[in-house]
Homo-oligomer: A and B are copies of this chain.
Amino acid sequence: MLNSLREPESEAVHLGFQEQYVSAFKWMLLARTVEDKIGALWRAGKVAGGCYLGRGQEAISVAVGIMLKPGDTFGPLIRDQAGRLAFGEPLFDILRTYLGKKTGPTKGRDGNVHRGRPRERIYPMISHLGALVSVVAGALMARRMQGDTNFVGATSIGDGGTSTGSFHEGFNMAAVERLPLVLTVTNNQYAYSTPNERQFACHDLVDRAIGYGVEGYSMDGTDLKECLEVAAHAVRRARSGFGPQMIVASCVRLSGHAEHDDGSYMEKTLLESPIGRDCIKVAHSFLVEQGWADESTVQEWRLNAKMDVEDVLQRVQREPAPVPEEEDWNAFSSHLIDPDLSA
């Protein structure tokens, strides 16, 4: 089901689509694999703090991540493991951050989903939901002021995150500035334990697109084919000057909110509904149906993903933790340090 406010050009399975689909599928496998591993490490007590996984949301996330080119900007959210990988975040960053290694992008100063590479335009999120929308918008404003062309930015938000003032202000600003921003709203039916009906009252969150004056699409987030088509379309529209694009993807979170949460409050029937499908299984079947891969090929890909994760994990585990005695307790990058506070 592709349901946009303005009809997109027909998205027939174009040349290269198979390649893209397969590539996206492999990133999904890798994301699921590394997350399964992180979950296991967390349960084994090897990961400090929370553990927020993207199970069931790989198709949506990868579809956006894979459409971005180097030079584009990506502001991923909690469950964007797959998109991060597709956009180029190394597996090392994920594991180093979850394991708090000094070698990681935050040097152990921040954890789990808060990693990023600002210089390479992967923006680290802060926990406060919605805050990244205006940051990505500002980066795009800057590119335009600098005379750049042919760039887009993408970021995502959950059904719950749409209730934040930050989200509203940031997205409205992007609309006013007509920025090439692709916003994915991943409606996984819950914000932590809070169901949609306690979060918003509209029929479909895509109903908000018209109120911002942007193009909007509503899609089945469990079908990689649809995700890729819509994301391709939205990214292309954004890149071509049609302003912000809002993609609302429906799916179901396939775990609890985090590894400490069993999600027992979730409606059992949801998992039997079409959007309750596991996007990896759906894509797997599709690949086989299309004859783009057979079972043993998929099996091999899975194995490769496992091996990649194991390999990186082995190396990362041997890397050093941050050493408090060597820590530079200074939040300023300029020369201005307060001697009374840095002691």
Q: Interface on A for B, CB 8 Å cutoff? A: 163-169, 172-173, 175-176, 178, 197-203, 205, 207-214, 243
Contacts and interface: CB of A to CB of B under 8 A. Distances in A.
A167 B167 CA distance: 12
A15 to B, nearest CB: 35
Contacts of A165: 164-166, 168-169
Contacts of A203: 210, 213
Contacts of A197: 176
A162 B159 CA distance: 21
Contacts of A164: 165, 169
Contacts of A243: 201
Contacts of A212: 200-202
Contacts of A213: 200-203, 207
A178 B167 CA distance: 22
Contacts of A173: 163
A175 to B, nearest CB: 4
Contacts of A199: 176
A200 B209 CA distance: 12
Nearest to A130: B165
Q: Which of A175, A203, A210 has the most CB of B within 10 A?
A: A210
Nearest to A175: B201
Nearest to A214: B201
Contacts of A200: 172, 175-176, 212-213
Nearest to A205: B211
Contacts of A175: 200-202
Q: Which of A172, A173, A176, A199 has the most CB of B within 10 A?
A: A172
13 contacts: A163-B173, A165-B166, A165-B168, A165-B169, A168-B168, A168-B169, A172-B201, A175-B201, A200-B212, A201-B214, A203-B210, A208-B211, A210-B210
Contacts of A205: 211
A128 to B, nearest CB: 12
A190 to B, nearest CB: 15
Nearest to A201: B213
A166 B203 CA distance: 22
Q: Which of A163, A197, A211 has the most CB of B within 10 A?
A: A211
A185 to B, nearest CB: 12
Contacts of A163: 169, 172-173
A14 B189 CA distance: 46
A170 to B, nearest CB: 9
A126 to B, nearest CB: 16
A210 B202 contact: yes
A182 to B, nearest CB: 16
Contact of A210 (B169, B198, B207): B207
Contacts of A167: 168
